[in-house]
Structure 1
Amino acid sequence: MRGIGYGGDYNPEQWPESTWAEDVRLMAEAGVNLVTVGVFSWSRLQPAPGELTAGWLDRVLDLLADAGIGVDLGTGTASPPPWLVTEHPEILPVTADGQRLAPGARQHYCPSSPAFRAAAADLAERMARRYARHPALTMWHVSNEYGCHVPACYCETSAQAFRDWLRARYGSLDRLNETWGGAVWSQDYTSWDQIQPPRTAPTFANPAQQLDFARFSSAELLDCFRAEREAIAAHSQNTPVTTNFMGLHRAVDQFRWASELDVVSMNNYPDPADAESYMLSAMACDLTRSVGGGRPWILMEQAPSTVNWRAVNVPKAPGQYRGLSLQAVARGSDAVLSFQWRAAATGAEKFHSGMLPHAGTDSRVWREVAGLGADLGRLAPIAGSQVSAAVALLHDWESWWGLELDSHPSRLHLVDLLGAFYRPLFAAGVTVNFAHPESDLSAYRLVVVPALYLVSDAGADNVRRFTANGGTVLVSFFSGIVDPRDRIRLGGYPAPWQDLLGLRVEEFAPLPAETTVRLDGVVGWPGLSGSSGLSATGRLWQDVIGLRGAEPVLRYASGHLAGQTAATRHSYGEGEAFYLGTLPDRVTLRGLVAEACGRAGVEFRTDVPPDVEMVRRGEYRFVISHLDREVEVDLGGKSRDLLSSEIVGPGVVLGPRGVLVLSSRD
């Protein structure tokens, strides 16, 4: 690819061949240079076992190649065809309560099924053999949205695969029984055959068993990907291979998966009805860039306007498609694709918007699609550059799985907590990476640790070392609670970080929904002191904190913990550590995050207008308004806007959902 890729999923098999030439002509008119083809085409590519019947696909790819449009070629394996289900009904997945899911939708396969894996690898190999040297081929797209509809299967085939996985992981039943706490509720196993997936039971299933099953299920899906990737590699070794993640999606451990992909891709569908959808979208973009190690990635799917699967499908507002697309580029994407090119006329997705809508080219959506293509053409110099960040949010899928298990002090939702800490950083123009707890943290100045329930010894040591070497860390409640076996770290909470934080949590006191406690600031803390008139509250959680060297920053001012410490600061080595024993209101949390940034030497801007996004990629600074009205922005100087080629600033008025891409050279 040269420049920024632009296009979407193209499903020509759903349309008469007479429309294909028009599609290609309109793609060129809109600036499209990359389309995804064949993702759900298995039944048309292989109506029966055996050779491909792909003459139609040959003609489509030839048309695209002649127009200079690259193809992200799908293996077609995300939706098994009826003949495969009829021949092998055992491939159908089973839910935790024993219900076997029926065909008729998509992703109706058990990831552990040998019959499914063999058929999928066979199709991928045939596709690679036929198209490896086709001039349109730009990239391979394996399956689609792994774990979206079937994150885990509980059938007997999966049960046996789970036993094999456990035997390889633990080696002996004694070790497994010790790890799973078999002494609790008489759950010691004396034979591997006795072990089952954590199916629906009379009450809470064994949490360590549930955690291992989540690890196993992610690994089984990854093995499905590997099997197709290896089948492709037998004929097409030099073409990159991808599959599409889904942002903050719980089923697959993207840190483990990303190293297996040549390029990381992501589908992003923020809800236009959500006033903060642009912030959640940015968070998904930052996560995708981060799991890929910072290298450029691909926005594989988004909606040009509406989707079809929410209870109420609100359309994107004028300019919102453009703004969120350029947000992805700002945060490291080298391609902007949508689902889908031509809005379908039949099937379950016929009310999902397309780049070419039902209304045709005389429509707002088409005009925005063509306008975005022109914009992306002007951003070619940005392709290949990277995004740097001074702040990291620690995130680990295994901790996520553990955090949201049942039989806990309270129901916590990690995405909400990540958003709470991400929000003030985003609003202040602070770019964030997501980092695994065991990854190299030396490039960051501030590390934020939101509810990292499960942490390994290596991860705990890594955070201590980062702080001792001069970093600043901000840790929230319910972090460092268990080890990777989901076993409580004894001695008070958080056991691995009591010396780091200078405190010991004796007891949890979670708050009921819609309940808050008042908080008082401590004199001497800018913006947080009681004398400043701060009216602060905490919600969701309370820790009973005993100070062991830390100084209080906030205290509870109501409830049975009134007068006790709610948030702290502690010097540790050359750095310092903040701790939050509750979730403060947005204003108070913003003040705490600003204080942590200031002490870490991270610029925390207070002059960025609300709902305006600022982020730097390489030598370019993106300014994106998510407002439906004009807004004044201080750019701090004059710069050339890559989109308009005009010199703008230092003050500028952005129109509704306006965007600037500013070069630091001017």
Structure 2
Amino acid sequence: MERKPFQWPQPLAGNKPRVWYGGDYNPDQWPEEVWDEDVELMKQAGVNFVSVAIFSWAKLEPREGVFDFDWLDRVINKLGSNGIAVDLATGTASPPMWLTQAHPEVLWVNDRGEVCQPGARQHYRPTSPVYREYALNLCRKMAEHYKDNPYVVAWHINNEYGCHNRFDYSEDAERAFRKWCEERYGTIDAVNDAWNTAFWAQHLNDFSEIIPPRYIGDGNFMNPGKLLDWKRFSSDALLDLYKAERDAVLEIAPRPQTTNFMVSGGGTLLDYDKWGYDADFVSDDPYFTPGEEHLDELAYAGSLMSGIARKNPWCLMEHSTSAVNWRPINYRCEPGELVRDSLAHLSLGADAICYFQWRQSAAGAEKWHSSMVPHAGPDSQVFRDVCELGADLNKLADEGLLDTKLVKSKVAIVFDYESQWATEHTATPTQQVRHTYEPLAWFRALADNGITADMMPVRGPWDTYEAAVLPSMYILSKENSERVRNYVANGGKLFVTYYTGLTDERDHVWLGGYPGSIRDVLGVRIEEFAPMGNDFPGAMDHLDLSNGTVAHDFADVIGSVADTARVLETFKADKWTGFDGAPAITVNEYGDGKAVYVGARLGREGLAKTMPELLEEMQIEAPKGNGDVLRVERADETGENRFAFYFNRTHKDVKVDVDGGTALVASLAQVDEGGNTATINPNGALVVKL
């Protein structure tokens, strides 16, 4: 695939580059007399960038063919004349009532044939030609009207594609799915082979017999190859719509364009890495996970966004100042986390820090979602923190942060959207194992040992790192199997876990013993799996390892180990289990490199305890520091202009060595007397120029 050249929104005329700072602005929710107050408060907070008109279709086109841009003109002119740039949305994320009443055929359909009625948002079919006609018409009208506006610095195409309409089972989708299958496979025989339709008499005679994976009854099992392709198709169908909207705008009014992804620890709705090839710059809407993994999961998502961006700057398009509104329990941010979380994203390559939303709604479905200006108004801790962050971002820009990028780590953890989709199937060895669980566990375990890893999509250059981790990479295509083989043969240091390399890209099992396509690289041959659980009395629910760690949920039955491999750890169990003394963790010499295999799910704690042995075995030196602090570094191409970010991962005060640098930003942190060390409080952050 060819990647679009990177383009970043440029500052308004006469302004110097800054970290873009702001959020979604919805002035159409408020009387016009509030707008002037908004602009003054934005200036006070250091806001220089807002996204406008994301959900404004009904106000932009109140009746079919009747357009009203006057109100938006006034808003944009107020913003721009006060130095606040506009990321202008196409407005297509939520079709108006007049459209769905005139054309109910645009409404998406669930797997049981039920039509999704309007009343929320994203109630359209991505493959509907009728919806596309109206959406592209609005895109063109917006582009024609604002093509010469000097305050519009970027296009915001639609919004969070697939958040609510990822899967549509309508007749439009059926026709599009058939076409997608024909383009992917060429012949119906190739489809039959890919889906193994010989099983359960599912043979297809021609493409007209292909239907979406609609409801087949509770407890039944959908064809896994078909279901995997359906998920690929659904991502591609939305991507095709995005490209159509994008092109409609850019043909008339070229500007850097983006759309907001939803990349997080569990955010696998779409193949966001594939989408990244079609954006001028990539954007994300990550929301914090409450509890003890808050910072780690946030850093994990930021690192993955940096991988999707291929280390170019990316935009944090939405996150929250405090509580969201869509969880059963909407936990607030703890004191300090508003600033700390934003600095963490900044450290990982986000050169734009934005929130949903600017002013908290007084009514509507998201009225309890926190904002930069809360219900309490500017006389609030949230707004004071917003202002503090704005000042911090300006200071870092003045010191040259925008000339730097995230420094490459020693270790890349590989992430694969399709492996996650395949492991979601209901007919798998265990429902307790998913691809997404393992990368986060490795990220946290490495952080516990002082290493902040880079998250890297499987298409990315993970094979250029000193070490790489394949964590439960269920799917390994022939191409990626060769990448693995060449990487290790040429001196790479590879960590591979259970549940890796079980199938090819068609979800066909690699035969001959697992992991079939890279057994020679790992030096192990797995004959069987041993899932574990407690849903049946007396079933094996864990396995002890010789190093004192404990495996849960899953273990491999390693039948043989190659002469080139050594066993590092074994299982300890009652003899009747067949596991006592069996290999659990191995290392194999292959070419000029080494490959470690971890044959059980150890979780974050077990991996963290095992990590020192594995790092020593692979001769990987952990950076100076400890697991209480997450350290991230940004630098320019020469390495002379460097910034170190330190984040407290604990709920106790921690000390850090500031490496002789100058502290620029200290949020809940204090530089100690002498300037060589600093104390960072819980939820604190420190930014040092080295």
Alignment of 1:384-423 (within 5 A): 384-387=403-406, 388-411=408-431, 412-423=433-444
Q: Match for residue 184 of structure 1?
A: 199
Deviation (angstroms), 1:465: 0.8
The equivalent residue for 1:565 is 583
Q: Distance in 2 between matches of 1:513 and 1:334?
A: 47
- Equivalent position amino acid for 2:562 in 1: R
CA contact (8 A) 2:25 2:52 kept: yes
User: Which ranges of structure 1 fall in alignment gaps of 5 or more residues?
Assistant: 522-527, 529-534
- Matched with 2:14 is none
Kept in 1, the 8 Å contact 2:450–2:627? The answer is no
Q: 1:6 aligns to what SS in structure 2?
A: strand
Q: Does 1:242 find its partner at 2:268?
A: no
Structure 1: distance between partners of 2:191 and 2:285 = 37
Match for 2:686: what amino acid? Answer: L
Which residue number corresponds to residue 279 of structure 2? 261
The answer (yes or no) to whether the contact 2:92–2:135 under 8 Å persists in 1 is yes
Aligned-partner residue type, residue 54 of structure 1: F
The 2-side partners of 1:592 and 1:465 are apart by: 27
Q: Deviations over 1:494-536 (max 9, x none)?
A: 0111100111000111111596434343xxxxxx4xxxxxx22
The structure-2 alpha-carbon separation of the partners of 1:492 and 1:629, relative to structure 1 and needing over 3 Å to count, comes to closer
- The structure 2 residue matched to 1:639, chosen from 658, 661, 683, is 661
- Cα deviation, 1:325-374, whole Å, max 9, x if unaligned, reads 00000000001000000000010001111101111111111111111111
Aligned to 1:424: 445
Quick one: distance in 2 between partners of 1:185 and 1:37?
Answer: 52
Q: Which moved more, 1:510-519 or 1:335-344?
A: 510-519
1:529-576 deviation line (CA, Å, top 9, x unaligned) = xxxxxx221111111102123211111111511221111111111110
Deviation at 1:485, TM superposition (A): 1.0
Q: 1:384 to 1:247 in 2, by over 3 A?
A: farther
In 1, Cα distance between equivalents of 2:22 and 2:235 = 30
Give me the whole-angstrom Cα distance separating, in 1, the residues matched to 2:226 and 2:369: 39
Following superposition, the deviation at residue 643 of structure 1 comes to: 2.2
Structure 1's 63 and 404: CA in aligned 2 closer, same or farther, altered over 3 A? same
Residue number in structure 2 paired with 1:373: 390
One-letter identity of the residue aligned with 2:261: F
Give the distance between the partners of 1:456 and 1:198, measured in 2 at CA: 24
Question: Contact conserved, 1:468 with 1:574, CA < 8 A, in 2?
Answer: yes
Q: Secondary structure at the match of 2:317?
A: strand
Q: Aligned-pair distance for 1:438?
A: 4.8
Q: CA deviation at 1:606?
A: 7.3
User: Is 2:464 the partner of 1:450?
Assistant: no
1:650, CA displacement in angstroms?
A: 2.5
1:139 aligns with 2:154: yes
Shift of the 603–382 alpha-carbon distance from structure 1 to 2, 3 Å rule, reads: farther
Following the alignment from structure 2 to structure 1, what is the Cα–Cα distance between the partners of residues 113 and 52?
35
**8 Å contact kept, 1:288–1:297:** yes
Provide structure 2 residue ranges, at least 5 long, that are not aligned to the other structure: 1-10, 12-16, 636-641
Equivalent residue pairs, number: 648
Q: Offset of 1:254 from its aligned partner?
A: 1.3
Q: Please report how far the alpha carbon of residue 14 of structure 1 lies from its aligned counterpart in structure 2 after TM superposition.
A: 0.2
2:358·2:371 contact (CA, 8 Å) conserved in 1? Answer: yes
More divergent stretch after superposition (22-31 vs 601-610): 601-610
TM-score (norm 1): 0.94
Q: Does the 8 A contact of 2:48 with 2:83 survive in 1?
A: yes
Corresponding position: 1:107 with 2:122: yes
Contact kept in structure 2, 1:36 and 1:73, CA below 8 Å: yes
The AA in structure 1 aligned to 2:256 is P
Find out whether 1:472 has 2:485 as its counterpart: no
In structure 1, what is the Cα distance between the partners aligned to 2:418 and 2:424? Answer: 10
Query: Corresponding residue for 1:532?
Result: none
**Aligned twin of 2:111:** 96
User: Which range moves more in the overlay, 82-91 or 407-416?
Assistant: 407-416
Q: CA deviation at 1:109?
A: 0.8
Letter in 2 for 1:408: T
Q: Does 50-59 or 207-216 show the bigger shift?
A: 50-59
Other-structure match for 1:157: 172
- From 528, 548, 555, the counterpart of 1:507: 528
**Conserved in 1, the CA contact under 8 Å of 2:307 and 2:457?**
no
Matched to 1:128, the amino acid is A
Q: Check whether the contact 2:310–2:460 (CA below 8 A) recurs between aligned residues.
A: no
Shift of 1:92: 0.8
Q: Is the 8 A contact 2:404 2:634 kept in 1?
A: yes
Residue 295 (structure 1) aligns with? 312
Matches within 5 A, 1:212-361: 212-237=229-254, 239-248=255-264, 249-271=267-289, 273-361=290-378
For 1:548, the equivalent position in structure 2 comes to 562
RMSD: 1.8
Query: C-alpha offsets along residues 374-395 of structure 1, whole Å, 9 cap, x if unaligned?
Result: 1111110212421122211122
TM-score by length of 2: 0.91
Distance 1:280 1:50 in 2: 45
C-alpha distance in 2, partners of 1:602/1:417? 21
* 1:13 alignment counterpart: 28
AA aligned opposite 1:473: L
CA 1:410 to 1:109, structure 2 compared with 1: closer, same or farther past 3 Å? same
2:201 aligned partner, one-letter code: S
What residue in structure 1 maps to residue 100 of structure 2? 85
Output one character per residue of 1:426-464: Cα deviation in whole Å (capped at 9) or x when no partner: 233423223343543443011101111111111011011
- Could you tell me the percent identity over the aligned residues? 39
The 10-residue stretch of structure 1 (39-48 or 426-435) with the greater mean CA deviation from structure 2: 426-435
Deviation at 1:638, TM superposition (A): 2.1
The one-letter code sitting in structure 2 at the alignment partner of 1:409 is P
After superposition, the Cα gap between the structure-2 partners of 1:626 and 1:595, relative to the gap in structure 1 and judged at 3 Å, is closer
Does residue 614 of structure 2 align to residue 592 of structure 1?
no
CA distance in 1, matches of 2:545, 2:552: 14
Per-residue deviation at 1:110? 0.8
Indicate how the Cα distance of structure 1 residues 42 and 282 shifts in structure 2: closer, same or farther if over 3 A, else same. Answer: same
Q: What's the secondary structure of 2:80's corresponding residue?
A: helix
Q: CA 1:310/1:444 → structure 2, altered by over 3 Å: closer, same or farther?
A: same
Aligned to 2:70: 55
Out of 545, 551, 555, the residue aligned to residue 538 of structure 1 is: 551
Distance in structure 2 (CA, Å) of the matches to 1:30 and 1:209: 51
Q: What SS is found at the alignment partner of 1:542?
A: strand
Q: Which amino acid aligns with 2:661?
A: S
CA positional deviation for 1:601: 4.8
Q: Aligned pair in 2 of structure 1 residues 392, 144: CA closer, same or farther (>3 Å)?
A: same
1:578 matched to 2:596? The reply is yes
Checking the alignment, whether the CA contact within 8 Å between 1:446 and 1:596 is kept in structure 2 is no
Instruction: Please report how far the alpha carbon of residue 195 of structure 1 lies from its aligned counterpart in structure 2 after TM superposition.
Output: 1.3
Q: 1:142 to 1:110 in 2, by over 3 A?
A: same
Question: Is the 1:504–1:547 Cα contact (8 Å) retained in structure 2?
Answer: yes
> What is the CA distance between 1:175 and its match in structure 2?
1.5
Structure 1 stretch displaced more, 434-443 or 558-567? 434-443
